[in-house]
């Protein structure tokens, strides 16, 4: 049983690996025996994650990638070694009402959070299908793809679309041995939301979580390893909330 979540012999691509969930995922996967390909726009910050992976005795390849740019994604895949698992983690947010958000901000959120997931998945699947090897995709969605929050129209729309794209890939590519699942994190403190969580509105939101706290980063490790490893070999199209029962809260 101690080996059921082993990642030995697997190489994993993590997008958005320079900070937050991505950097944490890289360390967890390395501890489980995986080698890593780390991708993001900020290559200098990727080196910090790479050093942590190498300190655990695993190989780390650093690749510049802008997930919103299909050319950048294709060039990154051409430059990287073969990967067995893809973690689509890159994402951004813009807080605004729907009638006030700019076209630039709307496009930035949708291009990164949705188009980026599609572009990375497409490149991985093309290679797996050509090689006949199968593969495994994990999309990092959000509880805000299943419920809504105020002034987050672009973000919630993008994450809801990621949930449905996950299911679509699972259905269409099962015959090729390709699995696709999603994790929907609730509120975890990262550099993106740290300041907001300490505002009065953020504190009120935390009180609405049945656990009455945000998640601790290690609480994402188990769900990640379940879906990344062969322990979930018969799972595809699953959408896994990790949210302290937030989705179960009363209306």
Active site residues: 155
Assign 3-state DSSP to the chain and report helix, strand, coil percentages, each to 5. Answer: 50, 15, 35
Rounded distance between C-alpha atoms, residue 170 and residue 163, angstroms: 11
Sign of CA dihedral 124, 130, 135, 137: positive
Residue 215 is classified by DSSP as: B
Q: Give me the count of residues in the chain.
A: 251
Rounded distance between C-alpha atoms, residue 63 and residue 39, angstroms: 5
DSSP conformation letters of 110-129: HIIIIIHHHHHHHHHHHHHH
Torsion angle, CA of 212/213/214/218, rounded to 10 degrees? -120
Rounded distance between C-alpha atoms, residue 107 and residue 113, angstroms: 10
Rounded distance between C-alpha atoms, residue 95 and residue 112, angstroms: 15
Residues 6+ positions from 6 with CB-CB distance below 8 Å = 32, 33, 229
Rounded distance between C-alpha atoms, residue 85 and residue 138, angstroms: 8
Rg (C-alpha) for the chain, rounded Å, is 17
């Amino acid at each position: 049983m101690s080996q059921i979540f082993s990642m030995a012999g697997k190489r994993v691509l993590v997008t958005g690996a320079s900070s937050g969930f991505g950097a944490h995922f890289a360390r967890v996967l390395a501890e489980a025996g995986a080698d890593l390909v780390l991708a993001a726009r900020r290559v200098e910050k990727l080196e910090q994650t790479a050093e942590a992976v190498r300190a655990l005795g695993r190989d780390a390849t650093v690749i510049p990638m802008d997930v919103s740019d299909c050319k950048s994604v294709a060039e990154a895949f051409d430059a990287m070694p073969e990967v067995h698992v893809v973690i689509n983690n890159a994402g951004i947010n813009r807080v605004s009402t729907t009638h006030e958000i700019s076209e630039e901000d709307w496009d930035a959120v949708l291009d990164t959070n949705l188009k980026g997931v599609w572009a990375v998945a497409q490149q991985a699947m093309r290679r797996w299908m050509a090689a006949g090897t199968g593969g495994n995709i994990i999309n990092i969605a959000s509880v805000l793809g299943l419920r809504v929050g105020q002034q987050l129209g672009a973000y919630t729309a993008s994450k809801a679309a990621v949930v449905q794209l996950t299911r679509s890939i699972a259905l269409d590519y099962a015959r090729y041995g390709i699995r696709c699942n999603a994790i929907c994190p609730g509120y975890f403190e990262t550099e993106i939301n740290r300041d907001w969580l300490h505002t009065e509105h953020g504190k009120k939101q935390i009180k609405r979580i049945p656990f009455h706290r945000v998640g601790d980063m290690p609480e994402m490790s188990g769900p990640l390893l379940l879906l990344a490893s062969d322990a979930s070999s018969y799972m595809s199209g699953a959408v896994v909330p990790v949210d302290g029962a937030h989705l179960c809260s009363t209306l």
